[in-house]
């Protein structure tokens, strides 16, 4: 399946959540975009309409947040009144949230240029540290990133820094073995910071392009665990001054708005430079990308739409909105 089709099917629950009440307009027979698959008519409706209040309510249900939902509806409505089709008016309003001027300004303040990102599929610097709460998908995401970058000709090294759980370090080591990516592992219960120091030195010794450091999942509200994370970051900088240049936070879309709070806490502790949103396929709350982009002022780098290796994709706002609005044509 092509990546866009994967994204589109990954977003189907969010599409139903937002556009479930949409009705096709015009003569052409077809599905409304939120229609349940199954009773498929000849082809997809080119355009559809929806009650504005229903849309606002549905956007909130998809975890877009009340303020942004109201803004989206206001903007889309204005555009609709100018004669733009409902679908296109909504597309514009959503895109404005995800890459409009306000967001650009916000990202520029953290030294990030959206237009550069669009082409950039690699992190800045040589060390990328991956953080997040328990079970969000950090370790499997690192495996997918490793596969992605080694597929692009980069020499990658993993640091299996989750020494907290008995099998934590081993999980990434197994991936490393499968992918042919050297993995620095430690005993369970050993110090992650010491392991990361060792891995940073080995990355330099090997002359590899990139070290990706896994960390144990932790609650953003646990002070001592967040302090430990700060230490890991500091110690990497001792082995490789200036690194890690990137700290990416993995957020599980299923947790919706709670992810915003996680992001604030992790950002305060270790200075997050990018966000990966996983499990978009498992939830109707895929609207969470809007407040992540608009309210956090942190760039979204990749999105996860499934458990397969190809299901981690570089984030592209325009593709996300198109995949959200357009149901696949019925076969």
Strands 312-314 vs 300-304: parallel, antiparallel or unpaired: antiparallel
- Give bridge partners of residue 276 from the DSSP assignment: 250, 302
**Residue of 71, 162, 243, 246 interacting with ligand GTP (CB under 6 A):** 162
Which of 44/144 has CB closer to ligand GTP?
A: 144
**14 contributes a contact to ligand GTP by CB under 6 A:** no
Shortest Å, Cβ 274 to ligand GTP: 16
Selected binder of Mg ion within 87, 138, 144, 294 (CB under 5 A) = 138
- Count interface residues toward ligand GTP (CB under 6 A): 21
Quote the CA–CA distance of 282 and 278 in Å, as a whole number: 9
For residue 327, the tally of other CB atoms under 10 A from its CB is 26
Asked if 213 contacts 169 with a C-beta cutoff of 8 angstroms, the reply is no
Closer residue to ligand GTP in complex, CB, 105/134: 134
Smallest gap from residue 182 Cβ to ligand GTP (A): 19
Residues 155-184 that bind Mg ion (CB under 5 A): 162
Residue from the set 278, 285, 293, 323 that interacts with ligand GTP by CB under 6 A: 278
Q: Which part of the chain contacts ligand GTP (CB under 6 A), choosing from 84-92, 149-157, 176-184, 279-287?
A: 279-287
Euclidean distance between CA atoms 98 and 301, whole angstroms: 13
* Least distance to ligand GTP, CB of residue 28, Å: 34
Q: Are 103 and 115 in contact (CB under 8 A)?
A: no
Tell me which stretch binds ligand GTP (CB under 6 A): 16-24, 136-144, 150-158, 220-228. Answer: 136-144
- Determine the Cα–Cα distance for residues 38 and 60; give it in Å rounded to an integer: 27
If binding is defined by CB under 5 A, does position 139 make contact with Mg ion? Answer: yes
Rank residues 90 and 324 by Cβ distance to ligand GTP and give the closer one: 324
Task: Identify whether the C-beta of residue 122 lies closer than 8 Å to the C-beta of residue 154.
Answer: yes
Q: Using CB under 6 A, which of 136, 156, 159, 236 touches ligand GTP?
A: 136
- For the segment 290-309, give every residue that binds ligand GTP (CB under 6 A): 304-307
Q: Is 310 in the site for ligand GTP (CB under 6 A)?
A: no
CA distance 283 to 212: 28
Q: Is the peptide bond before 215 cis (omega within 30 degrees of 0)?
A: no
The distance of closest approach from Cβ of residue 279 to ligand GTP in the complex, given in angstroms and rounded to an integer, is: 4
- Interhelix angle 52-61/66-81, nearest 10 degrees: 150
Nearer to Mg ion, 99 or 162 (CB): 162
At closest approach, how far in Å is the CB of 166 from Mg ion?
A: 12
Site stretch for ligand GTP (CB under 6 A), options 76-84, 134-142, 236-244, 287-295: 134-142
Q: What is the secondary structure of 97-151 as a DSSP string?
A: HHHSHHHHHHHHHTT--HHHHHH--S-SSSEEEEE-STTSSHHHHHHHHHHHHHH
Out of 9, 12, 140, 262, name the contact with ligand GTP by CB under 6 A.
Answer: 140
Kindly tell me the sign of the dihedral angle through the C-alpha atoms of 161, 165, 171, 177: positive
**Side-chain half-sphere exposure of 319, counting CA atoms within 13 A:** 16
Q: Which residues bind ligand GTP (CB under 6 A)?
A: 132, 134-140, 162, 168, 216-217, 278-279, 281-282, 304-307, 311
Q: Which residues bind Mg ion (CB under 5 A)?
A: 138-139, 162
């Amino acid at each position: 399946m092509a990546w866009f089709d994967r994204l589109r099917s990954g977003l189907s629950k969010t599409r139903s959540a937002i556009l479930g009440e949409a009705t096709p307009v015009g003569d052409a027979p077809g599905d409304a975009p939120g229609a349940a698959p199954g009773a498929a008519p000849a082809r997809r409706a080119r355009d559809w309409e929806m009650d504005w209040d229903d849309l606002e309510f549905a956007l909130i249900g998809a975890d877009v947040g009340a303020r942004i939902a109201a803004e989206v509806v206001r903007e889309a409505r204005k555009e609709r009144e100018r004669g733009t089709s409902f679908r296109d008016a909504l597309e514009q309003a959503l895109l404005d949230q995800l890459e409009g001027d306000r967001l650009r300004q916000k990202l520029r303040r953290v030294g990030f240029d959206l237009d550069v990102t669009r082409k950039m599929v690699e992190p800045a610097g040589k060390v990328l540290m991956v953080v997040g709460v328990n079970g969000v998908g950090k370790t499997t995401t690192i495996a997918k990133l490793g596969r992605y970058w080694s597929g692009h000709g980069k020499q990658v090294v993993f640091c299996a820094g989750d020494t907290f759980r008995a099998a934590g370090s081993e999980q990434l080591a197994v991936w490393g073995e499968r992918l042919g990516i050297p993995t620095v592992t430690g005993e369970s219960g050993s110090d992650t910071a010491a392991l990361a120091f060792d891995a940073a030195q080995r990355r330099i010794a090997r002359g590899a392009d990139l070290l990706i450091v896994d960390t144990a999942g932790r609650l953003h509200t646990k002070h001592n665990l967040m302090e430990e994370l700060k230490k890991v970051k500091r110690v990497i900088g001792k082995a490789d001054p200036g690194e890690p240049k990137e700290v990416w936070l993995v957020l599980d879309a299923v947790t919706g708005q709670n992810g915003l709070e996680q992001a604030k806490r992790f950002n305060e502790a270790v200075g997050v430079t990018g966000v990966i949103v996983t499990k978009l396929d498992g939830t109707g709350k895929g609207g969470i990308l809007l407040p992540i982009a608009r309210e956090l002022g942190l760039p979204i780098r990749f999105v996860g739409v499934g458990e397969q290796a190809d299901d981690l994709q570089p984030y592209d706002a325009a593709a996300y909105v198109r995949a959200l609005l357009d149901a696949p044509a019925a076969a």
